[in-house]
């Protein structure tokens, strides 16, 4: 069985070629921008599979408009943009691209850890603005990395990859999460309650998926538990942090700084955040390497093709929808 596939934005190879080799028809949006929910609703009808992006709001109305569509394959590890419960109810499969972006995202978390503590971004601004007065004993001092405690919120693959890199920096490791992580335990990490992690860490790095439970997990109260010398790193999802509260804490010196790759209302950011010199601000680049995006494209295509061929997709996030799809 072949089928019709919609790709919601121009993406790197190999997905377009792989899918074209199997499907009867591939429609790829030619506009390099996110589609609005209205545009998605207008365009999703009549396809067997939709390959979508993390910014596509695949809500109930889009899923209903997609009619007989069998799968929404998100080209991302996160799938908070999709109403998975509604998809499952409608018997629509949802897939993601785990694993292939773990190392790139961990690398970027480390770029932020080093950049914010050692003042890489504001130092670069000093040079470009011609403000470098010459070496000074008190000039642009930052925080230490080596030997400082790293707290990982969430015990998943990306947290583990960040922890592996921390071994070279001789950092004591703690993590929080509902489950023990044998991989983190093997690196010498200690599982603690979130409050203890916030109070005891010099770097707090977020690695939880965005759910109702993790929305504003890091709020004013949580930020208030952090040491004034500590740094917050977010490469997960913006809404995990109350961004307005973070701006207040950055401005009042409640924490030393923040390294952010994600924002509550991307592409916008909270009022005042851009003025915080103690924040390093990146435009959602966690998985943005040529090789990683190509791997994500391939995995998304493999999920689409499996469904078109009547096989269970390798990265199914709602197995109940698959059981529902079985005859009898």
Q: Would you name the residues annotated as active-site residues?
A: 237, 266, 284
Is 238 among the residues that bind ligand GLV (CB under 6 A)? no
Query: Near ligand GLV by CB under 6 A, which window of 72-80, 123-131, 225-233, 309-317?
Result: 72-80
Sheet containing 49-52, strands listed edge to edge, beginning at the edge strand earlier in sequence: 25-28, 4-7, 49-52, 71-74, 93-95
Q: How many residues bind ligand GLV (CB under 6 A)?
A: 14
CB of 204 to ligand GLV, least distance (A): 16
Is 54 among the residues that bind ligand GLV (CB under 6 A)? yes
DSSP per-residue letters across 264-299? TTTT---TTGGG-TTEEE--S-TT-SHHHHHHHHHH
Bond preceding residue 14 cis, omega within 30 of 0: yes
CB of 33 to ligand GLV, least distance (A): 17
Show the tokens assigned to 6.
């919609």
Q: Of the candidates 19, 78, 22, which has an alpha carbon nearest to the alpha carbon of residue 51?
A: 19
Query: Near ligand GLV by CB under 6 A, which window of 58-66, 81-89, 154-162, 240-248?
Result: 154-162
Which phi and psi angles does 176 have, rounded to 5°? -125, 155
Q: How far is CA 58 from CA 70, 78, 156, 252, in A?
A: 14, 13, 25, 38
The residue behind tokens 């910014």 is 55
Is 157 among the residues that bind ligand GLV (CB under 6 A)? yes
CB-nearer residue toward ligand GLV: 148 or 157: 157
Residue in 16, 34, 78, 239 binding ligand GLV, rule: CB under 6 A: 78
CB-nearer residue toward ligand GLV: 98 or 142: 98
CB-nearer residue toward ligand GLV: 48 or 56: 56
CB of 78 to ligand GLV, least distance (A): 3
CB contact at 8 A, 60 and 42: no
| DSSP-derived 3-state class of residue 260 | strand
Residue in 41, 43, 191, 207 binding ligand GLV, rule: CB under 6 A: 207
CB-nearer residue toward ligand GLV: 201 or 287: 287
CB-nearer residue toward ligand GLV: 158 or 230: 158
C-alpha–C-alpha distance, residues 214 and 65, integer Å: 29
Site for ligand GLV in 267-286 (CB under 6 A): 286
Is 287 among the residues that bind ligand GLV (CB under 6 A)? yes
Q: Packing angle between helix 290-308 and helix 102-117, nearest 10 degrees? A: 150
CB contact at 8 A, 223 and 232: yes
Is 293 among the residues that bind ligand GLV (CB under 6 A)? no
Is 76 among the residues that bind ligand GLV (CB under 6 A)? yes
Site for ligand GLV in 247-266 (CB under 6 A): none
Q: Of the candidates 169, 201, 205, 209, which has an alpha carbon nearest to the alpha carbon of residue 187?
A: 169
Site string for ligand GLV, 79-118 (x = CB under 6 A): -------------------x--xx----------------
C-alpha–C-alpha distance, residues 258 and 121, integer Å: 12
Is 303 among the residues that bind ligand GLV (CB under 6 A)? no
CB-nearer residue toward ligand GLV: 183 or 225: 183
Q: Which residues lie near ligand GLV (CB under 6 A)?
A: 54, 76-78, 98, 101-102, 156-159, 207, 286-287
């Amino acid at each position: 069985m072949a089928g019709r596939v919609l790709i919601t934005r121009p993406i790197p190879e190999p997905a377009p070629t792989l899918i074209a080799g199997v499907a009867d028809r591939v429609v790829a949006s030619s506009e390099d921008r996110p589609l609005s929910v209205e545009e998605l609703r207008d365009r999703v009808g009549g396809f067997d599979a939709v390959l979508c992006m993390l910014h596509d709001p695949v809500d109930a109305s889009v899923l209903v408009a997609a009619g007989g569509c069998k799968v929404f394959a998100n080209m991302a590890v996160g799938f908070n943009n999709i109403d998975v419960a509604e998809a499952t109810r409608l018997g629509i499969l949802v897939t993601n691209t785990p694993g292939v972006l773990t190392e790139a995202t961990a690398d970027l978390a480390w770029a932020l850890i080093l950049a914010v503590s050692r003042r890489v971004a504001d130092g670069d601004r000093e040079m470009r603005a011609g403000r470098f007065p010459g070496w000074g004993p008190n000039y642009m001092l930052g925080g230490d990395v080596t030997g400082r405690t790293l707290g990982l919120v969430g015990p998943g693959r990306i947290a583990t990859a960040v922890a592996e890199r921390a071994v070279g920096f001789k950092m004591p490791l703690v993590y929080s999460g509902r489950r023990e992580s044998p991989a983190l335990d093997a690196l010498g990490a200690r599982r603690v309650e979130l409050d203890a992690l916030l109070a005891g860490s010099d770097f707090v790095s977020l690695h939880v998926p965005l759910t109702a439970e993790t929305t504003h997990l890091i709020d004013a109260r949580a930020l208030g538990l952090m040491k004034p010398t500590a740094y917050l790193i977010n490469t997960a999802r913006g809404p995990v942090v109350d961004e307005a509260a973070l701006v207040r804490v950055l401005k009042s010196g409640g924490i030393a700084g923040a390294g952010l790759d994600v924002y509550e209302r991307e592409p916008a950011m909270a009022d005042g955040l851009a003025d915080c010199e103690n924040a390093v601000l990146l435009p959602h680049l966690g998985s943005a390497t040529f090789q990683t995006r190509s791997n994500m494209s391939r995995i998304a295509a493999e999920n689409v093709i499996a469904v078109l061929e009547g096989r269970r997709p390798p990265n199914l996030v709602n197995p109940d929808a698959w059981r529902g799809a079985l005859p009898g």
